[in-house]
Chains A and B, each alone.
Chain A
Amino acid sequence: MCVDDKLENLAAALRKWEEEARKQLVKDPGAKSAAETLSGMPVKELYTPLDMSGDYAESLGFPGSYPFTRGVQQIMYRSRLWTMRQYAGFGSAEDTNRRFRYLLEQGQTGLSLAFDLPTQIGYDSDDPMALGEVGKVGVAIDSIGDMKALFEQIPLDQVSTSMTINSPAAVLTAMYVVLAEQGGISLDKLRGTIQNDPLKEYIARGTYIFPVDHSLRLTSDILGYCARSLPQFNGISISGYHMREAGCTAAQELAFTMANAITYVETAGKAGLSVDDIGPRLSFFFSSHQDFFEEAAKFRAARRIWAHLMKERFQAKNPRSWMLRYHVQTAGCSLTAQQPLLNILRTGYEALSAVLGGCQSLHTNSYDEALALPTEPAAQIALRTQQIIAHETGVTDTVDPLAGSYYVENLTDRIEAGVQDYIRKIDALGGMVKAIAAGYVQKEISNSAYAYQKSLEEDRRVTVGLNKYRIEEPPPTGLLRIGENIEEVQAAKLKKLRAERSSGAVSAALDKVKQVAASEANLMPAIIDAVRVEATVGEICTVLREVFGEYSGANYY
């Protein structure tokens, strides 16, 4: 009996099974006659070999081999666990340094820096625009002195550091480099990532400064600088997390991220960087959301899509350019302010699907996430969540254990198809820059967000503790509270800095930045020089604002 006959028989048997199953739906009053993933993909009661397509070698392959569906490294976590990299930062550099050292002591294996909004938007702590914001959502970094305090007792050649900074990414990269120099550490030892992803800022995250074309120039300059001088640094973390947090679906998350990536590769190409110059050090950042199998399938689809994209669309020749390496954060938007301890479970399941999906790096949210920045105990539990998965569940002992699941392979295929659809649409619009200018991406995301909200309010979806199993609760206590005095502390530091540094040297350095910004040369050397003479984040960004102007896109929703 050949394979086709076997499948025919299976199909016939399945039809019979479905008939019987339908009777069950009628009999049980509470039965669910239809189901969808969180992203709205239909879910059948049963998946069988009939739901899988493609052959092992072509669609899946071995881990470490094209198209990398099963993983970018051969033995994955048997060789090395993912990096446990908890996003942290608040208050002053000294406050954050303490939290960093605590997390490292508790066993995290990489640093992830959260900067406050003034820093992220290129304002010094004493700028009027920084009112009320200093140190609130991350650490306040104004100068190289703050950077030094941030890394006190943390040797830069022994940790890898991820920095969530976008518009002023060049300045913070420069600070990291100058700090290494001052510590006698050679740049080829520096490991880490700079987010440097402006397109998603316009779409969903909001910390843009400059107009799109100037932001792309800066991104490209950083990629070029990293390719030449920081061989162990990822010059970009192309992010879907924030768009997912803004409410889009799994397929949209991947599609919009990939489309942004296409724009970055094209932009770098125009600046003289070939796809293989930057390919091996492009990295990504995704969410891990509540629908367990959809998320695991999503990560597998992402690897296969990227491999094809790089090899076929961009003709990348270096196999390392085909490998999608990514950091994951469990979905903040899935967490509730109500019955917050339940968030420990949500984060746990989301982290598990991220690991089953094969991520390189992971941040797990703390249970108080919907209320405030994490307290130490909450941050500890979040880290332990990863440690328990790593050491107690056994899921790390074999690569891509979900492979071959009829459901998961089917989901992987369907997500990929959905992503390719979106990429075609965006190509037809002329690429992401045009799609963003037209509001297409923003509207897709807010449509998904609105549909989700409606599904909750109409009780088609359940959030435990929120629209079902509610309780009366006293207001939460013991939350982290950032002091209002950080603004004063930073203002005093800035006053002292401006009095003590060489104002002539700073002026000259800022003039040079202005000059280079108006040219086509790479801005990194001039920005590094400015940082060395203690120009601040705000001062450098003010100069760039003068040359580039500010973004003024419409608010689409």
Chain B
Amino acid sequence: MEAKKVIRVLLAKPGLDGHDRGAKVIARALSDAGMEVIYTGLRQTPEMIVAAAEQEDVDVLMMSILSGAHNAIFPRVLEGLKNKGLDDILVLGGGIIPEEDIPPLKAIGIREIFGPGTETGEIIAYVKANLSA
């Protein structure tokens, strides 16, 4: 029987936002669920995130942003991933992202957004269910 491949996740804090409680809790939960988690820490530029995604050969990229800069930053990350041929990475978002901003973000490739009140179990289940896609 083939050994199950460990899911590798890059968890990033783009831009200047310093609120990382959620990101850290999710990092712990994913790790407890058997995933390999690389947390970038704060102040990540789009270029830094793309470089890390490539270097760490991740399956999933999760970006957490609470400062309202998501519309400026997320598209740059997705473009960077595309340019590097990394658009098979499952890209997810979280933080404070107004409802009306979600459809356009999904349209450019953020597969799902997990806002305040999301349970860690929901994120873990989503990743497991959506990775093979």
A residues adjacent to B (C-beta < 8 A): 117-118, 120-121, 123, 129-133, 136-137, 201, 205-207, 245-247, 333, 336-338, 370-372, 446, 449-450, 453, 456-457, 466, 475-476, 479, 481-482, 484, 554-555, 557
Contact = CB atoms under 8 A, between A and B. Distances in A.
B102 to A, nearest CB: 9
Which 4 A-B pairs have CB atoms at the shortest separation, nearest pair first?
A206-B18, A132-B72, A132-B69, A555-B41
A557 B13 CA distance: 14
Contact of A450 (B28, B73, B116): B28
Contact size class for B?
20 to 34
Nearest to A470: B117
9 contacts: A118-B16, A136-B68, A206-B18, A207-B16, A247-B21, A247-B25, A370-B116, A372-B98, A484-B71
Given A133-B15, A247-B21, A337-B117, A557 B39 contact: yes
Contacts of A476: 99
A499 B19 CA distance: 37
B24 A557 contact: yes
Given A453-B120, A475-B99, A133 B21 contact: no
A374 to B, nearest CB: 13
A450 B22 CA distance: 9
Nearest to A442: B24
Given A457-B119, A457-B120, A555-B41, A450 B18 contact: no
A457 B33 CA distance: 15
Nearest to B119: A457
Given A449-B24, A557-B27, A117 B72 contact: no
Nearest to B23: A557
B116 A206 contact: no
Interface string B69-106: 11111000000000000000000000010111000000
Interface of B: 15-21, 24-25, 27-29, 39-42, 45, 67-73, 96, 98-100, 115-117, 119-121
Given A132-B70, A137-B67, A555-B41, A446 B24 contact: yes
A372 B99 contact: no
Nearest to B73: A132
Given A206-B17, A449-B25, A557-B24, 6 more contacts: A117-B17, A132-B71, A136-B67, A207-B18, A555-B41, A557-B28
A137 B96 CA distance: 12
B72 A449 contact: no
Nearest to B32: A450
A207 B99 CA distance: 27
A453 B22 CA distance: 10
A336 B117 contact: yes
Given A131-B72, A457-B121, A333 B21 contact: yes
Nearest to A118: B16
Contacts of B71: 132, 484
Contacts of A372: 96, 98
Contacts of B72: 131-133, 484
Contacts of A333: 21
A450 B98 contact: no
A129 B42 CA distance: 13
Contact of B16 (A117, A245, A484): A117
B93 to A, nearest CB: 14
A450 B31 CA distance: 12
Contact of B25 (A123, A201, A370, A450): A450
A132 B15 contact: yes
Contacts of B99: 475-476
B112 to A, nearest CB: 16
A453 B18 contact: no
Contacts of B25: 247, 446, 449-450, 453
A446 B72 CA distance: 29
A121 B120 CA distance: 31
A529 to B, nearest CB: 28
A206 B41 CA distance: 10
Nearest to B24: A557
B12 to A, nearest CB: 11
A117 B116 contact: no
B116 A337 contact: yes
Contacts of A457: 119-121
A206 B21 contact: no
B18 A482 contact: no
Nearest to A476: B99
Contact of B96 (A131, A133, A338, A371): A371
Contacts of B21: 245-247, 333, 446, 449
B68 A132 contact: yes
A557 B38 CA distance: 12
B28 A446 contact: yes
A121 B70 CA distance: 18
Nearest to A453: B25
Nearest to A370: B116
A532 B40 CA distance: 39
Contacts of A466: 117
A372 to B, nearest CB: 7
A203 B100 CA distance: 33
Nearest to B26: A453
A268 to B, nearest CB: 26
Given A205-B18, A446-B28, A457-B119, A482 B98 contact: no
A493 B117 CA distance: 40
Contacts of A201: 18
B123 to A, nearest CB: 11
Contacts of B18: 201, 205-207
A450 B27 CA distance: 10
A552 B29 CA distance: 26
A304 to B, nearest CB: 29
Contacts of A453: 25, 29, 120
B116 A336 contact: yes
A482 B68 contact: yes
A371 B24 contact: no
